[in-house]
Structure 1
Amino acid sequence: MEDEEMERKVQQYLHRKGFRLTELALQEERNRLSTTSLSDVSLSRPDNDPARYYDGYNKLRSWAYNSLDQYKHELLRVLYPAFIHCFMDLVSEGHTLEARAFFLKFREDHELMHSRDLQKLEGTLSPLHLEEMDLARSLRENKFRIKLCEYSYELLLQYLQKTQALVMLGIINERIIFEVSAGQPSLISDDADVVALVGTSKDLAKQINQKEVHWGLLEDSVEERMEKALSDSDRAEAESKDADAEDNNKKKSSEGGKQGGPLNKKLKKDKLVGATGKNTKSETSMISAAPRVKPELTLPATPVEVEQSILEDLRNRAQLNNLALPSVSFYTFLNTHNGLNCSSISNDGSLVVGGFSDSSVKVWDMAKIGQPAKTSSSQGENGSSQDERLSSTSEGKRPYTLFQGHSGPVYSAAFSPFGDFLLSSSSDSTIRLWSTKLNANLVCYKGHNYPVWDVQSSRPLFCQCLA
């Protein structure tokens, strides 16, 4: 008791002095020690008493429903994983009648949000069913991730410590991963998103990424037949041109035989140029040729009229290789975590800009993608350099130029016709003009009373905004 009183006084002192980071560090250390102490508790479960699952879950359920209204909805999130695994543990231990009674008794608590899963698990009556059913196997092999606020997590820990509910303690330690966040509890409307099943022993995303990917044309496809026809026609055309050229060379050699050396040198040069042209063409066709991939499924039969339309479309397509690059580029933003609000591309396609919810504007130079990036700096409205915000080594390697100056989410960004200027609008009711050459903010346009949702520029530089 004295230790708890001392910790409380220390925390009050840190809070009064404003040592926020130290207070958070102390809180995290206390949570870590509490979790460790929970993990060290003996989790032995008697094998001859199926009623322990009913008693443990019923007490946890009563405590959660009788908690403070502000934190009740977060604590109720723990009940569904506890209910599911209590039921499956009873089934795996062979207590079929007890498992059935437990399922029917508490099923109504989770019918609203998990009715489909409950319908599938309702027919589970033996340990063999748990192994054969995909849903049950997934629930047994993976863990639930539940988001709680810091105070809700502490309330749960205190309950488990005081009651020493070993069954619930074992299930929570083995089957649930908590994501504890500081601040107020989340909204009730977020309950569907804060409880998720995450892979631990078998990560589905990892399996997909490890699968071998084949690229190329499918064997015996319309595209392959078209490519064969084109290659055959090109080969016949090349042979006819070579034959005509050889006949012309013979005629010229017979007519100009008296001229001697100069004509012979010209003929040798023509042969060399022809050979070089052949090599270039063969290399181009070799580069453009795609590998053949054997289809895993039988290709469906294609009607004659559909095949003819496809062949006509293929004839009109441009052949792409390293000598004939595409004229259209597509860019994809990855891992933006719902923070990207807008994007734009300069007229020449060399620059790409993105506006984000954290009030930042980021510009990527496509010519520098993949190259070591240098530390870039941007200037705010007052012209002062923001290097101190970009001076860390981790941020100095960013592949983009960061523009900071807005105080709210950026809703729109647009380049000038030549790409040397950039306009951005934000929820802070301002529009900012940036220089992509100087990496600086030139002007801040104020006067709007509401967020500026869209902005466009034209030649000469003219701003058209939508507030």
Structure 2
Amino acid sequence: MDEDQILGFVTAYLRKKGFSQTEHAFQEELQQNKITSSANSIVEPDIAKHILSFSELESGPARFHDGYSRLRSWAYSSLDLYKHELLRVLYPVFIHCFMDLVAKGHIQEARNFFNSFREDHEMMHLRDLQKLEGVLSPSHLEEMEFAHSLRQSKFNIKICGYSYELLLQHLHSTQSTTILGIINEHINFQVTPGQPSSISDDPEAVTLTGSSQDAANQINQKEIHWGLLEDSLEERLEKAGALLSDTEKGEGEAKEGENDESKKRSIEGAKQGTSIKKVKKDKGGSTTGKSAKPEAHTVAAAPRVKPELSMPIIPTEVEQSILEDLRNRVQLSSVALPSVSFYTFLNTHNGLSCSSISHDGSLVAGGFSDSSLKVWDMAKLGQQPSGSLLQGENETSQNEQILGQSGGRRQYTLFQGHSGPVYAASFSPVGDFILSSSADSTSMSAYSEPPKYCMDHAVRLWNTNLNANLVCYKGHNYPVWDVQFSPVGHYFASASHDRTARIWSMDRIQPLRIMAGHLSDVDCVQWHANCNYIATGSSDKTVRLWDVQSGECVRIFIGHRSMILSLAMSPDGRYMASGDEDGTIMMWDLSSGCCVTPLVGHTSCVWTLAFSCEGTLLASGSADCTVKLWDVTSSTKLPRTEEKSGNTNRLRSLKTLPTKSTPVSSLRFSRRNLLFAAGALSKNG
């Protein structure tokens, strides 16, 4: 029974019963329903077609290009007061638009979008763009750790309330739902009250830490003990020096009493007594002699803390040697700069990967791309009849003949055992051991999976007296970029491409602690002076401070615009210096977690940093073939607000020492405050 038959039966029933008015109303309503149904049959296909076309347009690749282009044009045309804050939003939106296009399979559109706008971000994010440039398919997004970390983390952007309201108003007025969705998912705004900040391109304004800004602030509020170890050799020497000063003071008072008695006898005797008194006073108060002591505001004034690790026992003869060096230490300052001894590697053919200098400057090590580690004993080289420079991989026959006259063909000790380039080397404080880190050359081309063969992502321990490899420490799954002995020896730390740093002891083949938290490679590592903390620098443009005992991150330092390549701790343990790929050095206060001041002067990568023994000077070595000396005492007194207002008078280096054509790869202040440097002569030289 169809619908028409049912309607016919209803009409017949109403007519039979005499419901004429009801029948009339029923017929009118039935006729109206037919008209409405006919209209709907015409409109519904058009509406469906319109909705379908809108869905196709909204999900198409053009919406990313158009949305970002509108946002970019609006930001660049904004008022200068708000422009630099609004421009901070462009980079996170740009990379996520690109990755979303790739994830949806629009590869060609993604490449066109990337090439159209990459120039806007090359100045500050060139290395990140170079990594993303290799993304050619959705599978690359899953395999590349950098892309994975970007999609899993949020950018923290500092912006004032006015700029934030302007941004939201623009997105809603232009109906940029695509861009609004990206911002909502991948950006965490830190809205600050008041006017926009006065610094354009503030490096702290856009950061990627893997945690929210509140979490980072909470980490930086943790208590740390940045002082020096109790009962250290320096403290013993200071106490001995204080006792010696008291003794000399008593002798001086006795002499003064004798001189007073001689005054009564004759005037000449009084003058002579005064003369003797002045000589004694000058000898006791001299600060430039061999027994110069640290200034009160540097190492001596640092608080003392207890060690969290078991400290190794120092042999008596070694302790006496160190104390002798400390007694003969020269006091350095802005008016008393150090002497510099530079070791140049020749004929390396760009094969030198790293260099290291022992604490007394007597041993120099070089790690090479052919997986070899070479150590030169400078004391033996000084005894040669012809003082030659360090030779790299290929020695000339002339040098072999010269060395042959004294009974040896090599001027270095060769350590072989790695199967990949040697990326870092570190001498123990005494110099009897050396650590080296490497990577397997056969697995360098693919990092998507841990290598299954020829695993040499290891750290090796060598004995410089036996000239032999003692232990191979394996634990990292990827290349180990850096390794550093602790200030007391026995313990060491390693940094790897696997985004972790690890703490080891010489007597164990397994790591004691694993520090995980960086979003990219951990490129460098440095121990704190009291051995209770280590600092790590990463390609994610952050520096982190870790507690050795708990393995927790206790500080996150944000401010660099490129990957961190070098770290150095001040001798008193309060300050830390970090150098990046752009040539910027930043001085940090460990207690507050804030940047004290940036040191700007290098034009290329800062590969190495070193503090003088009393902490008054900082030396930096760069790929721009210069060594720079900085006045730390004046730099640390400069408030960050002064630096932001443009006062950079105190940020200039004290002295620049250029080399002929040798990038500086290693620096070391000896215990006597002599500065050693090393590097390989480039082809341009």
| TM-score strictly above 0.5 | no
| Greater helix share, structure number | 1
The TM-score, its normalising length taken from structure 2, stands at 0.26
**Structure showing greater relative contact order (alpha-carbon pairs closer than 8 Å, 6 or more residues apart):** 2
| Greater strand share, structure number | 2
